Amino acid sequence: MDCRWNRYYGVVKKVSSLAGQWPYQRSRMRTFSFSMVILSIFSVIVPQIAKMFECDGDRQCLFPTVASFMLTSIALVKIYTCHFSRNKIRDLIDHLLVDWNLLKSPEEYEIMKSYTKNGRRYSLTYTLYCFITMYLFLSMSLIPHFLDVVLPLNESRPLVMPHPAYYFVDDREYFYYIYWYSILSWEIVLFGVIAHDCLLVTYVEHVCGVFAIVGFAQLLEDTFSLTLALQVVIITVLISITLMQITLQVNDMIGLIRYILYVVAQLIHLFCLSFEGQKLMDHSLQTREKIYNSRWYEVPIRTQKMLLFVMRRSIQPSCISAGIYVFSMENFSMILQTSMSYFTVLASME
């Protein structure tokens, strides 16, 4: 199975190992990687909090700082979810390995392989997108420095920081130190975010492939439900604040592009969770139809009675939920509407 993990689950395994979230890592290496991610997160959070105090109630300064702080808070929630649920995550992986070993026919193997490849493709695309967006967002702070060289003015252009933060030094004098430190810190923070999300995608794709095993779906729900509820609240408010920040940056092209990238990244993050949740619901509902359309009448009476229980269970779809909120494409639209409502309220206060 190690070969199969390296072939189909290599992305999630490597990212989780770098974030100290892979349950089969050696304890010392896992502790070191986890500590590095936590230190990086707090090395970003502390300057963000300092920046909030420096803003002193100025909303044009406060909104982008709060938005950045909430994003870092989501990263902290995700990394602690994986850390405190590591025993459940190990159980999920063990369950996954057992399911692979129970495959009996080449057809079953091919079905499982197709879902596994989907998970690998989604994880790889998501990882690349996160890092590309992060590099673009942070690197746009270099544009004023570049323009000062190629198209100099009588005075230096306004300084654009890599992200809203106060590092207790002169920003202009130590800009490049802050820039490279921000790149390094956010790279490590992103590994923690991506490890959580790729694990979730991998599990959902697996449970879609072998949905007859309802226990896996329930264990998945129990593992991520509570912290996903917190993430939904943060994302909803974060989108509203970022939209507000976009309206405040209409005269600043660099700032406008940066925060458009920022809000698009938030929407894609929420869309990925909603898409996987919708997929799980659809597959759970299809179970009943597949049993109904099969030649169930050819199996023994005892097996037919068992199929009735399965059909009865499939009437209520399995899902990924955050308490009362269920991740689906319909609720994805609802979150967008709610965020727009909050944005309207914030805009009316301006």
Q: What pLDDT is recorded for position 290?
A: 65
d(CA 314, CA 325): 20
Q: What pLDDT is recorded for position 301?
A: 66
Tokens of 248: 């405040």
CB crowding 99-127: b at 16 or more within 10 Å, else e: bbeebeeeeeeeebbebbebbbebbeebb
Give the chain's radius of gyration (CA, Å).
23
Q: What pLDDT is recorded for position 247?
A: 83
Q: Could you tell me the CA-to-CA distances from 250 to 62, 247, 259 in Å, in that order?
A: 17, 6, 11
Percentage of the chain beyond pLDDT 90 is 21
pLDDT digits (tens, 9 = 90+) for 6-46: 667 888 888 889 898 888 888 899 999 999 999 999 999 99
pLDDT digits (tens, 9 = 90+) for 36-73: 999 999 999 999 999 999 998 888 888 889 988 998 99
pLDDT digits (tens, 9 = 90+) for 202-211: 888 777 776 5
User: 138: closest CA among 268, 257, 6, 4?
Assistant: 257
Three-state DSSP class for residue 102: coil
Lowest average pLDDT, out of 96-100, 260-264, 331-335, goes to 96-100
Mean pLDDT for the stretch of residues 307-323 = 64
Q: Supply the mean pLDDT for the chain.
A: 81
DSSP letter (8 states) at residue 212: T
Q: What pLDDT is recorded for position 343?
A: 82
Q: What pLDDT is recorded for position 190?
A: 92
Q: How sure is the predictor about 280, in pLDDT bands with cuts at 50, 70 and 90?
A: confident
pTM of the predicted model, to two decimals?
0.73
The residue type found at 26 is R
Mean pLDDT for the stretch of residues 246-274 = 84
pLDDT at 324 over 90: no
